[in-house]
Amino acid sequence: MTRVSVKVDGTNYEDEVEPRLLLIHYLRDRLGLTGTPVGCDTSNCGACTVDLDGESVKSCSVLAVQADGGEVTTVQGLAGEDGEWTGLQRAFHERHALQCGYCTPGMIMAARDLLRDNPTPTSDEVRHALEGNLCRCTGYQNIVRAVLAASGQEVGT
Amino acid sequence: MIPPAFEYARPADVDEAVRALADAGEEAKVLAGGQSLLPLLRLRLAFPELVVDVGRIAELRGVREDGDSLVIGAMTTHHDVIRDPLVRRHAGLLAAATATVADPAVRHRGTLGGSLAHADPAGDLPAVVLAMDGELVAQGPAGRRTIPARQFFVDYLQSALEPDELLVEVRLPKTDGWGFHYEKFHRVAQAWAIVGVAALVRRDNGRVAEARVGLTNMGTTPLRATATEEALAGAGDADAVARAAESAAVATQPSRDTSASPEYRAHLARVLAKRAVLAAAGMG
């Protein structure tokens, strides 16, 4: 067992973990943060995307011990203390950027990473930034529109 | 999917990492960014007794100049390579090809050295470093040695690194003034290249003075399209480039898998070589 100290969504945790424990399993099974789903389990789909020390990562491809000393933000840590959504979350809601919703946490975390780097991306840049995130409901059109709307850009419906 | 159990070491510097590798013999694996190793562990295709995590070794990160060479720390992430001003200025082919690797989240974690040491012929960067005539610097218990890229890639997923050696840096001759392009064909944006072609072209008076062409996924290792390189010398127009590209698959042994037959891969190599060289030569 290896000792890890991680800050997740603003709360500090100290745990003993097996080195082989994946970050996604640590978040879900140990911390109960089930807002981040396991999708493909093969680093293809991006559903498990979280933010680690300021960068988006696929949490199925990071060991919990690699996050030791780090700061993780999941989709559950985005809303304000009063539960108020961020503009990006609101845009996903308003633009109907989800159908089954399984890819949504990863889409939001990947889009958040893009907007931090590039606050007013083009439609093409949004698509490239989300290339590691799969939506099997084929809802990409509205996802792209939501990200553009969240960046304050007018988009058609 | 849950990886098999392993012991975990997180050395603070290169010497400590090399000692950990030497003590473990052949049962250790180096964990760099983990974007290839962790999927292998999850799929239970690798069973190391010890994983040596070199992610906290600061001396392995960063880019510096050394005369006519650019020296890139093995743990420099793809994300940092793409944005590094020195890489963009002196090794444009590497920056361009790295931008096509996987997706942003993977590029945040994955590293140049990890990608090269993994020695997957379908990886984009081995063919790029081969085309750039790069050198790989490894550190072992006896010290450092420099391995030319042409000798580094030994076989499928097999590099010239000894079990007790750590890849510490990649040295690339500066290619200021060379045209470059990486052209890859893949089914979806983040998938492995079915075939990729890395082209570097130095022009003189409108003609190709020198060309270097690296091939991704055309054998068990990255390859140079030597016949095409020789045929390109003196090429002055798009037709001459197209003729030279016809020999891009000569002396290759592409694999057969669910994506492509060897014949189709050979066809792709010819087509992509033409596109890559035309773009690199500014004739496209």
User: Average of pLDDT values for B21-31?
Assistant: 94
Please report the pLDDT score of residue A138 as a whole number.
79
Structural domains in chain A, CATH included, are 2-77 (3.10.20.30), 87-150 (1.10.150.120)
B32 within 8 A of B75, measured Cβ to Cβ: yes
- Say yes or no for a CB contact (<8 Å) between A61 and B41: no
Flag whether residue B190 sits within 8 Å of chain A, measured between CB atoms.
yes
Question: Do B186 and B169 reside in the same domain of the chain?
Answer: no
Q: How many beta-carbon pairs below 8 A join chains A and B?
A: 86
Please report the pLDDT score of residue A152 as a whole number.
93
Choose one of B173, B194, B219: the last residue of a domain.
B173
- Count other Cβ atoms within 10 Å, centred on residue B29: 20
Question: Do B188 and B269 reside in the same domain of the chain?
Answer: yes
Please report the pLDDT score of residue A156 as a whole number.
63
Nearest to A132 among B39, B79, B106 (CB): B106
At residue B116 the predicted structure's pLDDT band, cuts being 50, 70 and 90, is: very high
Please report the pLDDT score of residue A157 as a whole number.
54
* B-chain residues near A63 (CB < 8 A): 8, 31, 34, 38, 53
Flag whether residue B109 sits within 8 Å of chain A, measured between CB atoms.
yes
Q: Per DSSP, which regions of chain A are E strands? A: 2-8, 11-17, 49-52, 55-58, 71-73
Question: Do B212 and B169 reside in the same domain of the chain?
Answer: no
Please report the pLDDT score of residue A154 as a whole number.
72
- Quick: pLDDT tens for B205-257: 999 999 999 999 999 999 999 999 999 999 999 999 999 999 999 999 999 99
Please report the pLDDT score of residue B189 as a whole number.
81
At residue B262 the predicted structure's pLDDT band, cuts being 50, 70 and 90, is: very high
Q: Within a 13 Å sphere around the CA of B260, how many CA atoms are in the beta-carbon half?
A: 22
Q: Is residue B148 part of a domain?
A: yes
DSSP state of A28: I
Flag whether residue A132 sits within 8 Å of chain B, measured between CB atoms.
yes
Please report the pLDDT score of residue B160 as a whole number.
98
For chain B, what is the domain count? Answer: 3
Residue B131 domain boundaries? 65-173
User: Average of pLDDT values for B251-279?
Assistant: 97
What is the nearest CA distance from A11 to chain B, expressed in angstroms?
A: 23
At residue B19 the predicted structure's pLDDT band, cuts being 50, 70 and 90, is: very high
Choose one of B173, B189, B223: the last residue of a domain.
B173
Tokens read off for A113 = 């990473």
User: Average of pLDDT values for B260-271?
Assistant: 98
Q: Is residue B2 part of a domain?
A: no
Mutation target among B6, B53, B78, B190 for the A interface, most CBs of A within 10 A: B190
Q: What is the pLDDT tens value at each position of chain A, 157 positions in all?
A: 999 999 999 999 999 999 999 999 999 999 999 999 999 878 899 999 999 999 999 999 999 999 999 999 999 999 998 999 999 999 999 999 999 999 999 999 999 999 999 999 999 999 999 999 999 997 899 999 999 999 998 776 5
Q: Is residue B192 part of a domain?
A: yes
Question: Do B222 and B259 reside in the same domain of the chain?
Answer: yes
Asked whether the ipTM of the predicted complex exceeds the cut of 0.90, the reply is yes
B6 within 8 A of B51, measured Cβ to Cβ: yes
Choose one of B132, B149, B173: the last residue of a domain.
B173
* A-chain residues near B57 (CB < 8 A): none
Question: Do B269 and B241 reside in the same domain of the chain?
Answer: yes
Q: Is residue B145 part of a domain?
A: yes
- Quick: pLDDT tens for B128-138: 999 999 999 99
- Say yes or no for a CB contact (<8 Å) between A22 and B55: no
Question: Do B165 and B185 reside in the same domain of the chain?
Answer: no
Strands B158-159 and B195-204: unpaired
For B97-134, b/e burial (b = at least 16 CB within 10 A) is bbbbbbbbbbbbbbbbbbbbbbbbbbbbbbbbbbbbbb
What is the nearest CA distance from A8 to chain B, expressed in angstroms?
A: 18
Flag whether residue A112 sits within 8 Å of chain B, measured between CB atoms.
no
Question: Do B200 and B163 reside in the same domain of the chain?
Answer: no
B96 within 8 A of B182, measured Cβ to Cβ: yes
Please report the pLDDT score of residue B1 as a whole number.
81
